[in-house]
Structure 1
Amino acid sequence: MKKTGFLLLFLATMLSAQAQHIILPLWEGTPPLQKEMDLEEEFVQEEIIRIGNVQKPTIEVFLPTKQISTGKAVVIFPGGGYSILAYDKEGTDFAKWLNAQGIAGIVVKYRLPRSQSLTDKKEVPLLDAQRAIRMVRSQAEEWNIDPTQVGVMGFSAGGHLASTISTQYDHEVERPKDAIDQLSARPDFSVLVYPVISFRDASAHSGSRMNLIGENAPQELVDRFSGELNVTEETPPAFLVHAQDDNGVPIENSFLYYKALHEKRIPASLHIYPKGGHGFGFGFGRGPVSNWRNVLLDWMVDLK
């Protein structure tokens, strides 16, 4: 390696060492729509970290140094079919990568609808997502974040959650509220990576749909949680990436959401790669899809 390479590595290491890392609870006390039960969170670390049965949702905050900060923040929802969270592969790994680009990365350990402690499971992931965005905005000054540049990123079922909050950010449920609830939960942009979008039969990811709304949900719920049906003129711009050979979540999900955005004249960028499969994450070793993150950064630079 040349001397310049060693210098760049040294500088990157020093900047990383100065960056802030914080973990905060989303809610004080027992979270809304949850009853107290003696349930343990599931944590499995094999090739990746898998977290299940979340009882105490959190945000894990990775802040870049002020020297390189762009003011942008991305709230990240890991995927896992609304059954588990692929917490590092589709969460903290990306937050750390965003930090190197001067972008704050906030990973949400959101509650999953399979938990027995939830009183209205279909509402809980969205409720935690709204809270996460509001918390980031409440700390914007302290964390050196522009409150008008807070976006979301979601993978697979996490992409479904990111699209849901992009279209239902003002959805309300009956619960106690505090000062943070006065802030907007609308994302300023969304990054949807091999996302689940539609719960309709032709495109549905059956596992995500069953876990969130049940096997025989009424059509009203199916439509409510089909993101392509809920896009309005106020839905934020989106970047979508998918692989043509995805056998987990049909590629039509990204097509449907892009089409709905295009019809409302909302800026959207759709990127399809011929290979990559499902769950490609960074895309290392999977051909051209490994470059998708650089394409994303170019898109984010142009956001107004």
Structure 2
Amino acid sequence: MKLLKLVVLFACIGQLSAQDTIIPLWPKDKIPNRIASDELEEHKRNGILRISKVQEPTLEVYLPAQKNATGQAMLIFPGGGYGILAYDWEGTDIAKFLNGKGIAGIVVKYRLPSSISQTDKHLVPLIDAQRAIRMVRAKAEAFHVDPAKIGIIGFSAGGHLASTLGTRFGEEVYEPLDAIDQESARPDFMALGYPVITFGEATHKGSKTNLIGEDPAPELASHFSNEKQVTENTPPTFLFHATDDEAVPVENSLLFYQSLKGKGVSATMHIYPKGGHGFSLARKDPHLMGWTERLFEWMESLK
């Protein structure tokens, strides 16, 4: 009887680890652009888990039961103005929600710009984002996902990072380390929730300052204004935003949609009259929460 109980216990542990696996993005001594420092990662919880000063980026992998799996996966980039990561609110909660639709949810704990811990800090989030999608593609068989059905979703500043990846996936921002870096960094599809897109007039000042500084060169601000980086190869995109967003003006999504349309890229956009900023799954708003079902319908249409 004791042996049976042990077998059951280990089986349960195995199931949990399969659902929640944390994987380092980089070999510990080969993290690009890293400067050794005394800076330590911080976790603070006040209704939302806020992670700052990320030193070692990771993937946190949530997989649906194999019999429910659609073969699709989404990498999730939480927001936080490039100063913190709203890690559960716009990360792990999203991953678990995706699992309910048979979609693998993979949260990217990416490094945030830091002049103390990094060189060329404005490139570091994109470096981690490129590596993240390459790693998922390299591990597609292990995760039971189709390597041609790997998308991304980002919220607020995480939406800026996602749209940066979706428009600049081919830009060489770090030296390849291993076979993982031979994989494509192009997302197959992209969803952006109340995203920071432009570093022009309608920008979110905090995100812009944290990433490229208080007084950046105009060409740098233009390079990180993602409505200007759209090409015919930008992946199909789903946008959602609230008109009354006072933190990240809805013009960010409108600018990106117009650029996608201009380049002939398939684009879907849902603008809600109310919702403010940072509403995540919006489970307490019967109208706004509908964005999730619209997302799943859109993902189904991609097949």
TM-score normalised according to structure 2 size: 0.93
* Residue equivalent to 1:65: 65
Query: After superposition, where does 1:132-143 map in structure 2 within 5 Å?
Result: 132-143=132-143
Distance across 2 between alignment mates of 1:205 and 1:253: 9
Deviation track 1:177-206 (CA, whole Å, cap 9, x = no partner) reads 211110000000111000000001x21110
Q: Which moved more, 1:175-184 or 1:208-217?
A: 175-184
Shift, 1:287, TM fit = 4.3
Shift, 1:69, TM fit = 0.2
Amino acid at match of 1:207: G
Amino acid at match of 2:156: S
Shift, 1:38, TM fit = 2.5
SS for the counterpart of 2:140 is coil
Distance across 2 between alignment mates of 1:171 and 1:20: 32
Residues 1:221 and 2:220 are matched in the alignment = yes
CA RMSD of aligned residues (A): 1.3
Distance across 2 between alignment mates of 1:33 and 1:117: 8
Distance across 2 between alignment mates of 1:65 and 1:18: 13
Deviation track 1:123-177 (CA, whole Å, cap 9, x = no partner) reads 0000000010000001001111100000000000000000000000011135352
SS for the counterpart of 1:300 is helix
* Residue equivalent to 1:11: none
Deviation track 1:15-66 (CA, whole Å, cap 9, x = no partner) reads x969622100000023100112232101001101000000010000001111
Query: Is residue 257–residue 269 contact of structure 2 (8 Å, CA) maintained in 1?
Result: yes
Query: Is residue 73–residue 151 contact of structure 2 (8 Å, CA) maintained in 1?
Result: yes
SS for the counterpart of 1:95 is helix
TM-score normalised according to structure 1 size: 0.92
SS for the counterpart of 1:163 is helix
Name segments (4+ residues, structure 1) moved above 6 Å: none
SS for the counterpart of 1:51 is strand
| Structure 2 unaligned regions, length at least 5 | 1-14
Distance across 2 between alignment mates of 1:217 and 1:172: 21
Aligned length: 288
* Residue equivalent to 1:54: 54
* Residue equivalent to 2:12: none
SS for the counterpart of 2:141 is coil
* Residue equivalent to 2:272: 273
Deviation track 1:221-256 (CA, whole Å, cap 9, x = no partner) reads 111101100100000010000001101100000000
Distance across 1 between alignment mates of 2:44 and 2:17: 29
SS for the counterpart of 2:239 is strand
Between the two proteins, what is the percent identity of the paired residues? 56
Query: Is residue 32–residue 174 contact of structure 2 (8 Å, CA) maintained in 1?
Result: no
Query: Residues 236 and 58 from structure 1, CA distance in 2 versus in 1: closer, same or farther, beyond 3 angstroms?
Result: same
* Residue equivalent to 1:118: 118
SS for the counterpart of 2:281 is coil
Distance across 1 between alignment mates of 2:174 and 2:161: 20
Amino acid at match of 2:163: S
Distance across 1 between alignment mates of 2:151 and 2:196: 18
Distance across 2 between alignment mates of 1:222 and 1:115: 18
Query: Is residue 224–residue 230 contact of structure 1 (8 Å, CA) maintained in 2?
Result: yes
Distance across 1 between alignment mates of 2:115 and 2:107: 20
* Residue equivalent to 2:179: 179
